[in-house]
Amino acid sequence: MTLTEKDSQYLWHPYTQHKTSQAPIAISKGEGALLWDENGKEYIDAIASWWVNPFGHSNKFIADAIYKQLTTLEHVLFGGFTHEPAIKVAERLMEILPKNQQKIFFSDNGSTAVEVAIKVALQYFFNKNEKRTTIIAFENAFHGDTFAAMAASGISFYTQAFQGMFIDVVRIPVPVKGNEQESFDALNNVIQNHNCAGFIFEPLVQGAAGMVMYEPEALATLIKICRENKVLTIADEVMTGFGKTGKTFAMDYVSENPDMICLSKALTGGTIPMAITTFTQEVFDAFYDDDINKALFHGHTFTANPTGCAAALASMDLLQTEEMQANIERINASHLIFQKKIENHSKVFTASTLGVIFVVEIKSDSEESYYGSMRNKLYDFFIEKGVILRPVGNIVYILPPYIMTSEQLEKVYKTIEEAIEMV
Ligand SMILES: *Cc1c(COP(=O)(O)O)cnc(C)c1O
């Protein structure tokens, strides 16, 4: 039996209707931006394996750091204990995060980072004896698949089975170009009519919605409105963090700072699942009390796993090298050239670039659903050509590992051009 055959006997895959979808491809090796399947076919990983892997597969530098940590202290509980790797991660993050972020809380994945932020926003007001229970989120947001994260997510595809079982979330429009005032008005309106605790958003780019982009000035205005009304702001940088937008964090483009930031995905360079939620001192202080009931009773068994911390430290080392920063700039420059080339194509609706993220929306006669027919046709075409891209409806985006070579990138562009001709 092939790996693929054995897989179908036992395994249940994410976001997969097993009755109608094709069997998964068994990958046996990865190096740099390349992956190989069990038959030796080569693929370019043009989405960094769901946005987690900036420095390439099987990265030796991170692997060495992990091995060293595994053979020194692989894990220790974080309740009542601490360790140097966690402290070093905190110190490193303090150097690169927006200056108002002062405390960090570890968890395991993007959803838990969001879950922690939302619980903290709600308990912050509970601890102050203020009744504020509504969370504000954007339309078509994606914040993860656990319950509070799912409640904040606006892509109905993922959440329809659970409607009516969620915490109280009110949605406002995304301030895309031309829609800014509508978004500001909606926020003011929601704040006036609900007891709002927090506003969660994906800064500048809504990833799962299909890389929907909006301007930093608009986000600054929304954050200002929240601050004036004492609504806590949560920047979900799970996708955008660690260089994707061209700066270390998307919030580095924004003149206002958030109260909390969620990090995961590229945090460990795509090696070990780990997440962090960061807070201002002011948020932390609302939990700091003689009363034990005011503490944050949230934790995960593998909180601050030292091996994950070692991977995060090695990843931050790599991100901050001149070479990696030059790679990010090279990919950005190359995307901009490709964008110019195809944005006037008769079949292209729009194309945009931010940092290493490139997105093109293909014209379509019908409303394309998330996993609709155009999406499947495009996906199958890319796979056949040995390029891993996961279109969202009629939207195709590239989010390459930063180490992707110019030749590999050219092949990705060429394949996208062919796909546009094909559909
Ligand atoms: C992927 C993602 C999440 C969820 O992260 P998981 O690790 O899949 O739980 C949350 N927020 C954003 C913005 C994401 O892109």
pLDDT in tens, 135-159: 999 999 999 999 999 999 987 777 8
Shared-domain flag, residues 239 and 365: no
Residue 119 to residue 117: CA distance in whole angstroms: 6
Q: Is the CB of 143 under 6 A from ligand 1?
A: yes
For residue 158, the model assigns a pLDDT of 78
Shared-domain flag, residues 278 and 234: yes
For residue 159, the model assigns a pLDDT of 83
**Could you report the per-residue pLDDT of 72-87, keeping only the tens digit for each?**
999 999 999 999 999 9
Shared-domain flag, residues 50 and 67: no
Q: Is the CB of 236 under 6 A from ligand 1?
A: yes
For residue 371, the model assigns a pLDDT of 66
Shared-domain flag, residues 382 and 308: no
262: CA distance to ligand 1 center in Å?
Answer: 9
Nearest ligand 1 atom to the CA of 273 is: 7
For residue 160, the model assigns a pLDDT of 85
Query: 264 near 281, Cβ under 8 Å?
Result: no
Residue 214 to residue 174: CA distance in whole angstroms: 8
Nearest ligand 1 atom to the CA of 275 is: 7
Residue 76 to residue 200: CA distance in whole angstroms: 32
- Which of 275, 297, 319 delimits the end of a domain? 319
Q: Is the CB of 111 under 6 A from ligand 1?
A: yes
Q: Is the CB of 207 under 6 A from ligand 1?
A: yes
Q: Is the CB of 264 under 6 A from ligand 1?
A: yes
Shared-domain flag, residues 275 and 162: yes
The CA-to-CA distance between both ends of the chain, in Å, stands at 35
For residue 369, the model assigns a pLDDT of 65
Q: Is the CB of 144 under 6 A from ligand 1?
A: yes
Query: 234 near 200, Cβ under 8 Å?
Result: yes
Q: Does the predicted TM-score (pTM) go above 0.85?
A: yes
Shared-domain flag, residues 266 and 411: no
- Which of 319, 345, 370 delimits the end of a domain? 319
Residue 41 to residue 283: CA distance in whole angstroms: 51
2: CA distance to ligand 1 center in Å?
Answer: 31
CATH at 9: 3.90.1150.10
Domain of residue 151, residue span: 63-319
Provide the 10 A C-beta neighbour count for residue 21. Answer: 12
365: CA distance to ligand 1 center in Å?
Answer: 31
264: CA distance to ligand 1 center in Å?
Answer: 7
143: CA distance to ligand 1 center in Å?
Answer: 5
201: CA distance to ligand 1 center in Å?
Answer: 12
Nearest ligand 1 atom to the CA of 141 is: 13
Total domains in the fold of the chain: 2
- Which of 297, 319, 341 delimits the end of a domain? 319
CATH at 70: 3.40.640.10
Mutate to test the pocket of ligand 1, among 106, 107, 111, 302 (most ligand atoms within 8 A of CB): 111
For residue 370, the model assigns a pLDDT of 64
Shared-domain flag, residues 196 and 290: yes
142: CA distance to ligand 1 center in Å?
Answer: 7
Shared-domain flag, residues 104 and 182: yes
Residue whose C-alpha is closest to residue 257's, from 240, 280, 238: 280
Shared-domain flag, residues 94 and 124: yes
Can you list the residues of the chain whose pLDDT is less than 50?
none
Q: Is the CB of 154 under 6 A from ligand 1?
A: no
Q: Is the CB of 175 under 6 A from ligand 1?
A: no
For residue 368, the model assigns a pLDDT of 63
Shared-domain flag, residues 304 and 242: yes
For residue 400, the model assigns a pLDDT of 98
Shared-domain flag, residues 96 and 16: no
Residue 165 to residue 78: CA distance in whole angstroms: 32
Shared-domain flag, residues 142 and 227: yes
292: CA distance to ligand 1 center in Å?
Answer: 31
Residue 362 to residue 384: CA distance in whole angstroms: 20
